[in-house]
Chain A
């Protein structure tokens, strides 16, 4: 068993190296992910194993409701593990409208086959919110409403993960006056969900949640909004690299100003960082390239409930 594991690990490293990723870089990533998940360093080896030798490829059914596909796009940006590793080696994506080759009734067949083959054993990821007015007639796939599809697919899911703020809280279409009666998945279907809000969410938080499941056989600890604590325990403000400017009273009051060029605090430009729980300042986006405050734009609070109403006007001070 141990030898088998070691063999898988070696083969995995060889594959990575063919792709120009060194073993060192990969372990570095696993260390980073382990830390992001709030696990101690002793877990690094086990996290490596999750990618190197998954005991199984857990089936995932990914539903698209009222959304912009930004959450799928965010997931496609995952770089360690690369998205092709996720899709070909780590999980089994049974249904995903944006990437699946099948269309029409063949696609529908895939959904139903997966639900029956993996009853009570698949992860359901939902992207997008659900219209509730008029029996849900504002959104349909194959002639059925999102409401009907959501009820059916989540019923026998091992867990339902809401990817993004639309699935979690309703999204921009649920902002006042919410003409379509849009709701997040939990509220629309009356079920418990694991929520990974953000517009879009950082893919590392989805990967962290799935790795947590593969590693420990259970989903991570959640806050009162259903958000994994490993990602959403601190506010943006708590970990903001511009925090010392806030403490020193050094504020940007106009875009493009000398203060903006010097990277002063964006609080007076309407930054919602003090009231927003997320790990953006730590993990950043797109392989750690940047994040909104680094780009000189105030945080808009996109991982908080009903932020389109609660956090706007976005450029007015909290």
Chain B
């Protein structure tokens, strides 16, 4: 056996994740992904008023704060059989679009960039040369030698203070960092600017959603912000949308391209084989058939053969997770009996279950969505992807990689961001016509079953609810990070992140920045991936004395 490297905690993610890799001759030979926390929201929901479920499950994640709220509300609407007003569909699309604008910016700059950008190296930069570089690659509204000199001084005084705060003790100076000092300085300055941009972008959520994180304006039947459908709110939304889009187009995209040009070798590292997208952003009241981002599946990277997604083929495996049994079940029939048996790479090693589609492990997320849309020939996505490939002078097969995943995230931010203007205009059109309806009244049924399937920043998200006597009988959700970060299944098939890590070159096993690059490219969000607990089987826990 090669050398085992453990990264715990994996930082710059949401939640508690442990990654282990086996390295032999400087290459990752095997990998294990493990969720390290367990909360229990699904069991807590049993017996409660179904209308409360969206508020509970929203607390699965404060990063992708909107998404569980949305899927839960849609699951209830599906169970009850109601159609929401057009304005409610539009406002939900706008809020969901805003989630993408915010989330992807934060991911690139604050959770991922430091895997590619050496903050300390930025101190060696010539600010004049940085200004020239920035003028060539970026359309940022700020810049110039004096600006970059001040950023550099600010970082220097920070480093000199001896209190390095969030930048302390990282992999600075690692040979895997390839940017010039000037490119590093440009990226560090955009890291700082993006801290402010994200706070402004989050206001998009507050306008029709009360606040961010944890919006509070969705209910089964529609939205509650009836009094906010007025010109000043719409104008504020449009202004902030425009400001955010300008950052995405003038800074985020150019930065991704600039960084990628130094790391083209990562177009052959970190890929997986199978891709799943549920699709999202209904453009009409007809539901998923009108989705802006289409659903579909791709197997063995065959882009020319995008298949229709069939939700009946979704199951969750538990054979290598800390749960009783080895059965794989559809979420409607989901059973969860925890059985913690200590961490064992050869047996059970994670609180995360292993979702499979038609028995296969599938990557979900921006890359899957972009590949499905590209494979289906969507002209908007195709142009964005082809232009990017041409800009970097690389062929389409580099998309199946860590670099492709990071680029796809940026490209869909533009694509979805562009669509937001259309939706905003539709909303204004409806209001101008005098249609200000936001809610369809409904009665709680005695019995019902429904699901909400969405494609959210991190990938395919599904919530399944069963209502009995007006209360929640069963509630299950299968989330993007369960798909991506899940462990092996009964057949020994590895999960997507595990697959992506195999083959990665490791320069220094004590400083495995290369592992973080691929893990972070999935934007792990772990708290919601490990949310189930069964109080009936507590006695089977074995807690090893530490």
Contacts and interface: CB of A to CB of B under 8 A. Distances in A.
Do chains A and B stick together as partners?
yes
Interface centre among B16, B439, B533 (most CB of A within 10 A): B16
Interface string B506-546: 00000110001000000000011000011100100101001
B527 A67 contact: yes
Interface stretch (A27-35, A72-80, A189-197, A218-226): A72-80
B43 A143 contact: no
Interface stretch (A45-53, A154-162, A284-292): A284-292
Given A261-B226, A292-B210, A102 B168 contact: yes
Nearest to A80: B199
B535 A177 contact: yes
B69 to A, nearest CB: 11
A304 interface: no
B482 interface: no
A292 B219 contact: no
A148 interface: yes
Interface in B194-246: 195-196, 198-200, 202-203, 205-214, 216-217, 219, 221-222, 224-229, 236
Nearest to B84: A256
B150 A18 contact: yes
B232 to A, nearest CB: 12
B165 interface: yes
A256 B226 contact: yes
Nearest to B7: A104
A295 B210 contact: yes
A284 B196 CA distance: 19
A200 interface: yes
A213 to B, nearest CB: 17
A310 interface: no
Contacts of A172: 39, 41, 44, 56, 59
A154 to B, nearest CB: 19
B210 A107 contact: no
A48 to B, nearest CB: 20
B12 A66 contact: no
Interface in A70-117: 70-74, 76-79, 82-84, 87-88, 91-94, 96-104, 106-110, 113
A246 interface: no
A191 B444 CA distance: 44
Given A88-B154, A177-B43, A179-B533, A77 B212 contact: yes
Nearest to A175: B44
A171 B211 contact: no
Contacts of A171: 59
Interface centre among A78, A79, A180 (most CB of B within 10 A): A180
B161 interface: yes
Nearest to A74: B213
A134 B61 contact: no
Interface stretch (B46-54, B255-263, B268-276, B445-453): B46-54
A297 B210 contact: yes
Contacts of B167: 100-101
Nearest to B141: A20
B214 A93 contact: no
Contacts of A145: 546
A15 B212 CA distance: 27
B401 interface: no
A101 B12 contact: yes
A250 interface: no
Interface centre among B168, B196, B340 (most CB of A within 10 A): B168
Contacts of B12: 97-101, 103
Contacts of B428: none
Contacts of B59: 68, 70, 171-172, 199
Nearest to A58: B163
A291 B200 CA distance: 16
A188 to B, nearest CB: 15
A144 interface: yes
Contact of A256 (B111, B195, B222): B222
A179 B154 contact: no
A68 B8 contact: no
Given A99-B12, A256-B439, A314-B55, A70 B210 contact: no
Interface centre among A106, A260, A285 (most CB of B within 10 A): A285
B202 A179 contact: no
A300 interface: yes
Given A69-B14, A180-B38, A297-B216, A134 B543 contact: yes
A77 B106 CA distance: 12
Given A255-B222, A256-B222, A73 B62 contact: yes
Contact of A295 (B119, B165, B196, B217): B217
A152 interface: no
A173 interface: yes
Nearest to B15: A69
B173 interface: no
A23 interface: no
Contact of B166 (A100, A286, A295): A100
A257 to B, nearest CB: 8
B386 to A, nearest CB: 34
A238 to B, nearest CB: 19
Contacts of B219: 255, 297, 315
Contact of B217 (A91, A200, A297): A297
Contacts of B16: 64, 139-141
Interface centre among B11, B52, B85, B441 (most CB of A within 10 A): B11
A57 interface: yes
Given A107-B169, A315-B51, A139 B119 contact: no
Contact of A286 (B85, B206, B534, B543): B206
Contact of A57 (B161, B437, B439, B534): B161
B138 interface: no
A282 interface: no
A289 B114 CA distance: 32
Nearest to B117: A101
Contacts of B15: 69
Contacts of A96: 166
A135 to B, nearest CB: 5
9 contacts: A69-B14, A70-B63, A76-B106, A88-B158, A100-B11, A143-B8, A260-B226, A284-B211, A294-B210
Interface of A: 15, 18-19, 57, 59, 64, 66-74, 76-79, 82-84, 87-88, 91-94, 96-104, 106-110, 113, 131, 133-135, 137-145, 148, 171-173, 175-180, 182, 199-200, 254-257, 260-263, 284-287, 289-292, 294-297, 300, 308, 312-316
Given A69-B14, A97-B12, 20 more contacts: A57-B161, A68-B63, A68-B527, A77-B198, A78-B199, A82-B195, A82-B196, A97-B9, A97-B11, A106-B170, A139-B37, A179-B40, A200-B62, A256-B437, A260-B224, A290-B206, A294-B210, A296-B228, A297-B210, A300-B216
Interface of B: 6-16, 36-41, 43-44, 48-49, 51-52, 55-56, 59-63, 65, 85, 106, 110-111, 114, 119, 147, 150, 154, 158, 161, 163, 165-171, 192, 195-196, 198-200, 202-203, 205-214, 216-217, 219, 221-222, 224-229, 236, 340, 436-441, 511-512, 516, 527-528, 533-535, 538, 541, 543, 546
8 closest A-B pairs by beta carbon, nearest first, are A70-B62, A256-B439, A285-B211, A101-B170, A295-B210, A296-B224, A289-B206, A286-B206
